[in-house]
């Protein structure tokens, strides 16, 4: 049986930042990743990184690529049937913009730095289950690249393997999972087209939400609220662009730059929180700890924050014998998670028509939504709160 003090499941932002920090802290660790290196380095997901994410990466000298190629972004534009308004949130609240840097670039930077420091990553190694989490010698059952079954032994296992990973499957019976299905779905699109506005676009329309987020000068992310149960192939490219134009009020504000749809995927809006994040020798971070709907762009930022907190706690425990540190990690991380969940829910309610009600009939919800948007358009203190919550984790 192979072993490491900390076996990390998953080479996403959470797992790879944790691995970097543990290695620097002199802790023996290994990363087990289900997919291959190319997949890890090319999976396009998040792009909007919070100022605190930048501070964390800076603190550990891991933000070089981000400073070189990331773009500061501090404005969003809300579009409704009544017109549009822009919030320069980078100059409101704490006056901090986002940095747009595609998640796959961040993951590549973290992977390169970890490997250059002599870190170990086993690709195409799928964790099947974590055993004996109630003891100080947990084991991880894995299927290796050649299909062979094997086991790893650890002092701690860090579950950074997302919502469908082995860590969640291995939680002890009776573990609390606070869960909410928002009943909303997005068709998430990556288009080979330059951004069409110099701001994040949030369009609130009777036909459903549409969103626009710059990624690079050549690639833009779009979102279309769609019916639950929509399959990725249900919408043709032409229908997607026509619908985006309609919902983003292109007739009033100008058409969108069209291009090839590079990637499409349906995201069902669900949120959950596992509580606590420590179960004996099994610890959770990132999406494995809490799933957050992408409406407020918090997931990757929480993953980075939790990875730093968890690294600190594991080093305190393993190198300095601080036996309280890991329980403290759970409490601290959960505070941040619930704050992000709260804002994310607020964004969901701001941007979407009520899913259960037929289009145009949910008068009460629509009136509240209009009122909320009007307050955001006109109240400076509401704008400051928005900016602080939007960029904060």
The answer to the question of residue 166 lying near ligand RFL (CB under 6 A) is yes
Sequence-ordered list of residues with C-beta below 8 angstroms from that of 113, at least 6 positions apart, any chain: 20, 62
Shortest Cβ distance from residue 190 to ligand RFL (Å)?
A: 8
Catalytic residue among 156, 202, 249, 329: 202
The answer to the question of residue 159 lying near ligand RFL (CB under 6 A) is no
The answer to the question of residue 13 lying near ligand RFL (CB under 6 A) is yes
Distance CA 143, CA 162 (A): 18
**382 is a catalytic site residue:** no
The answer to the question of residue 37 lying near ligand RFL (CB under 6 A) is no
Sequence-ordered list of residues with C-beta below 8 angstroms from that of 28, at least 6 positions apart, any chain: 4, 5, 6
Catalytic residue among 73, 98, 122, 212: 73
Stretch that binds ligand RFL, among 19-27, 28-36, 112-120, 147-155 (CB under 6 A): 28-36
**294 is a catalytic site residue:** yes
Sequence-ordered list of residues with C-beta below 8 angstroms from that of 54, at least 6 positions apart, any chain: 63, 66, 99
**249 is a catalytic site residue:** no
The answer to the question of residue 40 lying near ligand RFL (CB under 6 A) is yes
Question: Which residues within the stretch 46-65 sit at the binding site for ligand RFL (CB under 6 A)?
Answer: 46-48
DSSP string, 17-41: HHHHHHHHTT--EEEE-SS-HHHHH
Distance CA 15, CA 97 (A): 26
* Angle, in degrees to the nearest 10, between helices 325-351 and 299-320: 180
Shortest Cβ distance from residue 21 to ligand RFL (Å)?
A: 14
Using the minimum distance from each CB to ligand RFL, give the nearer residue, 9 or 310.
Answer: 9
Q: Please state whether 253 falls in left (phi above 0), alpha (psi between -120 and 50) or beta.
A: alpha
Question: Which residues within the stretch 287-306 sit at the binding site for ligand RFL (CB under 6 A)?
Answer: 287, 294, 297-301, 303
Sequence-ordered list of residues with C-beta below 8 angstroms from that of 386, at least 6 positions apart, any chain: 87, 89, 92, 93, 376
Catalytic residue among 98, 212, 279, 298: 298
Contact footprint for ligand RFL (CB under 6 A)? 9-15, 32-35, 40, 45-48, 103, 126-127, 160-162, 165-166, 188, 267, 286-287, 294, 297-301, 303
Known catalytic residues? 73, 202, 294, 298, 390
């Amino acid at each position: 049986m192979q072993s490491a003090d900390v076996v990390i499941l998953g080479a996403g932002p959470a797992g790879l930042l944790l691995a970097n920090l543990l290695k620097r802290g002199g802790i023996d660790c290994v990363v087990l990743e289900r997919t291959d290196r190319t997949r890890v380095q090319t999976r396009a997901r998040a792009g909007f990184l919070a100022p605190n994410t930048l501070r964390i990466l800076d603190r550990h000298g891991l933000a070089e690529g981000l400073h070189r190629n990331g773009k500061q972004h501090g404005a969003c534009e809300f579009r409704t049937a009544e017109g549009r308004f822009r919030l320069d949130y980078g100059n409101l609240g704490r006056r901090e913009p986002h940095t747009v840097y595609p998640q796959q670039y961040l993951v590549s930077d973290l992977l390169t730095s970890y490997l250059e420091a002599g870190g170990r990553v086993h690709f195409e190694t799928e964790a099947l289950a974590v055993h004996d989490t109630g003891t100080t010698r947990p084991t991880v059952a894995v299927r290796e690249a050649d299909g062979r079954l094997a086991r790893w032994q650890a002092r701690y296992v860090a579950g950074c393997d997302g919502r469908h990973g082995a860590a969640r499957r291995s939680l002890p019976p009776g573990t609390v999972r606070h869960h909410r299905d928002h009943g909303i779905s997005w068709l998430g699109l990556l288009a080979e087209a330059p951004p069409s506005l110099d701001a994040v676009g949030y369009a609130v329309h009777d036909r459903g939400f549409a969103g626009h987020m710059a990624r690079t000068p050549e690639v833009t992310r779009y979102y279309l609220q769609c019916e639950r149960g929509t399959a990725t192939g249900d919408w043709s490219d032409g229908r997607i662009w026509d619908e985006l134009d309609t919902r983003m009020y292109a007739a009033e504000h100008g058409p969108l730059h069209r291009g090839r749809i590079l990637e499409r995927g349906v995201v069902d809006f669900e949120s959950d929180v596992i509580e606590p994040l420590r179960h004996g020798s099994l610890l959770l971070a990132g999406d494995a700890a809490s799933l957050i709907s992408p409406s407020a762009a918090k997931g990757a930022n929480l993953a980075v924050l939790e990875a730093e907190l968890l690294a600190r706690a594991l080093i305190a425990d393993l190198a300095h014998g601080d036996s309280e540190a890991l329980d403290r990690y759970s409490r601290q991380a959960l505070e941040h998670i619930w704050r992000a969940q709260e804002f994310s829910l607020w964004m969901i309610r701001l941007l979407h028509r009520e899913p259960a009600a037929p289009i145009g009939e949910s008068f009460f919800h629509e009136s509240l939504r209009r009122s909320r948007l009007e307050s955001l358009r006109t109240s400076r203190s509401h704008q400051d709160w928005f900016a602080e919550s939007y960029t904060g984790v």
